[in-house]
Amino acid sequence: MKKLMMMVSLAATVAVGAGVAFAQDADTQERVPPTTQEVVNDGGVEAVRQAEEAAPAEPPKKIKNAEDEVTMWVKGKKWRKGWDAKKKRFVCVEMAQFDCDDPAKTQNVMVQRDMAVKRAVLQAKMKIIETVKTVIDATDYMEMAGGNPAVATEEEKKVAAKHVQELKQYSTSKFMAEMPLFGATCVRQSESWNKGKYQVAIALVWSPALERSARAIITGSKVICKPKENGKSIEDWLEAVNPAFMSGPIQFVDADGTRWFLGISAGAADEDLDALTMKINRRIADLSAKQMLAFSLWGDVKAAETMKQELATKTVDGKSTTEIAQWMESKVSQSIKGLPLRGMSQLLSEEVDHPVTGGRIYVSIYGINQNAAEDMLKVEAVNFATRAELERAKTVERGRAAANKAHVENAKNDPNDFNKGYNAQSGAIQKEVQSRKGKQQFQQKESAKKRAKQSQAGVFNSGAGADDDDL
């Protein structure tokens, strides 16, 4: 099988600076206080700028893998790994890898690549917070039993040689670190596949200036970096880079000194995938890019690592055997809860060819900067002001509806209208009752007269029935 090796250099991150202008009333504009800009510059900003200038190049043949490429790149910049007191910055190189017989045939290789990048970032952040403060629990223990035949009599030597001499030793340690970290960013990334190992490596940088830039986006303050001559716009920079090489959190400082925080992720987009799988891969890549962007701004990082080593040596009749056991556990996490982000938007969504796997991938890049965050505050204010007006209009409509209902209810229960109807109907009923009563009395009188006439004429009946007039 052909051996593939691919190196990727990432110099910065991408973000959308969709500038938004808002027309406001003159009195509203007067009430808006002027924004004070803070210009920041330190070793971290310098590292990001140097990384921007580094163009991807074919690695020398002596480079073994992605980690070797990133390490040599950092050395070439003469950057000090760890904390540099002169430059006031952290530089960490980390790698993560997974077994992969053939990237072109391995299922979900892009998912494993994405997760490997996240592991490398986590491990690099762990190094930073451990440097700031580490709490350590540690124990070394040794236990020995047996004699020394060299200083014994001949008889004692014979007896001692039949006994067991033992050496037991163990060493345990636990390292714990925890702190929030703002503004850490990748300035170099590389990928390689060699001898069944797919490897990603990163160089992560943090400095006080990077922290202040991240803080500005979260708090809404205005911070810019020192503008650079011949700097590029974010659009020109995106045109110049190959998104197939990019993954993770990076940054970019444009010609105006505006810092862009970017999150980049990718998913498989091969033509033989069904439509639903393609859609899911795209959405997961979008969400992962957003997550990486958020973690480049802030994350509560926690790390706990435990190590244990054991050694046991036994000597029986002058022959020794040694058993060794070792074990470790590492738990590293970063988390965000309730972080409000304004101005985050998608800067790039493209399908490109991935040089390592040879397959088609979908790349998603989300970005944010201080200007976009500030603009979105205005967008939020404008829309909520309109919503308030809408609620007032809805209140007026509720008043109109209540008036309509009240008039209808009042019309239903007007006592004058009720009495008018009652009296009219009562009079009509009374009149009808009197009319029927008078008619009945008249009929009874006429019937009595008729019976009297019949009696005088000698006509008699049983009286069991009624005459026609009674019916």
Bridge partners, residue 304, by sequence: 176, 331
CA separation for the pair 333, 115 (Å, rounded): 13
Q: What pLDDT digit, counting tens, does each position of 374-407 carry?
A: 889 899 999 999 999 999 999 999 999 999 999 8
Q: Which one, of 51, 91, 41, 72, lies nearest residue 251 by Cα?
A: 51
Tell which residue, 386, 3, 390, has the closest CA to residue 194.
Answer: 3
User: How does pLDDT run along the chain (471 residues), one tens digit per residue?
Assistant: 344 444 443 333 333 233 222 222 333 333 333 344 555 556 666 666 566 555 554 444 567 899 999 999 999 999 999 999 999 999 999 999 999 999 988 889 999 999 999 999 999 999 999 999 999 999 999 998 876 555 556 666 665 555 668 899 999 999 999 999 999 999 999 999 988 999 999 999 999 989 998 988 888 777 777 777 788 888 899 988 888 888 899 988 888 888 899 999 999 999 889 999 999 999 999 999 999 999 999 999 999 999 999 999 988 777 889 999 999 999 999 999 998 889 999 999 999 999 888 899 999 999 999 888 888 989 999 999 999 999 999 999 999 999 999 988 888 888 888 899 899 999 999 998 888 888 888 888 888 888 777 777 665 554 444 444 443
Q: How far apart are CA 239 and CA 351, in angstroms?
A: 14
* 133 occurs within a structural domain: yes
In the chain, the N- to C-terminal Cα span, in Å, equals 120
Position 34 scores a pLDDT of: 39
Q: Give residue 28's pLDDT.
A: 32
Answer whether 95's CB lies under 8 Å from 200's CB. yes
10 neighbors 251 (Cβ within 8 angstroms): no
Q: How far apart are CA 66 and CA 337, in angstroms?
A: 33
Position 440 in a domain:
no
Cα 124 from Cα 12, distance rounded (Å):
17
Residue 394, domain member (yes or no): no
State residue 131 phi and psi, 5-degree precision: -70, -40
307 in any annotated domain = yes
Q: How far apart are CA 251 and CA 260, in angstroms?
A: 5
Whether 374 contacts 255, CB under 8 Å: no
Q: Is residue 415 part of a domain?
A: no
Question: 5 and 194 in contact (C-beta within 8 Å)?
Answer: yes
Which whole-number Å values give the CA distances from 423 to 61, 392, 419, 420, in the listed order? 113, 46, 6, 5
Taking the whole predicted model, whether its pTM rises above 0.85 is answered as no
Domain count, the chain: 1
Structural domain span for residue 217: 26-147+155-387
User: How far is Cα 188 from Cα 74, in angstroms, rounded to an integer?
Assistant: 9
Is 442 part of a structural domain of the chain? no
